[in-house]
Amino acid sequence: MRVVVQRSKQAQVTVDGAVVGSIDHGLVLLVGITHEDTEQDAKLAADKIAGLRIFEDESGKMNHSVLDVKGQILSVSQFTLYGDCRKGKRPNFMAAARPEQAKPLYDRFNELLREQGLQVETGIFGAMMDVSLINDGPVTLIVESK
């Protein structure tokens, strides 16, 4: 799994003009899944993200996790994270898992985050989505399960 993690002050995802998920404060996750990913990868990524100390403490140091600050998660599926741009000018998406494999694993990943006590909002898997956010910091990281 490959997850782009963005610390956010506010974020939302819209499909066909309707807001389908929104958060006030927390993390926006762009989630990519490849063929080799398993539930173990989803668990590793969910545990890492829930515990990432990327929110400031009273001294201004990144010492708190999204759990510590009672933040929320906006999780958006993003197969394009496995786009290979090394040859030509059109990305090759062969490394991205097919929807029938990716959707159950994406759903499980979100459930694993919820099991840790996080509020998780999502977009709609496979839909064309508009994602807007106020990136806090900005802080943007990439978490990979392998």
> Catalytic residue positions?
78-80
- Which run of H or E residues covers position 101? helix 99-115
Local structure of residue 1 (DSSP, 8 states) = -
Residue 88, class by beta-carbon neighbours within 10 Å (0-12 exposed, 13-18 middle, 19+ buried)?
exposed
What are the CB-based long-range contacts (under 8 Å, 24+) for 59-63? 62/139
Q: Name 100's bridge partners.
A: none
Instruction: Name beta bridge partners: 15.
Output: 18
How far does Cα 47 stand from its chain's mean position? 13
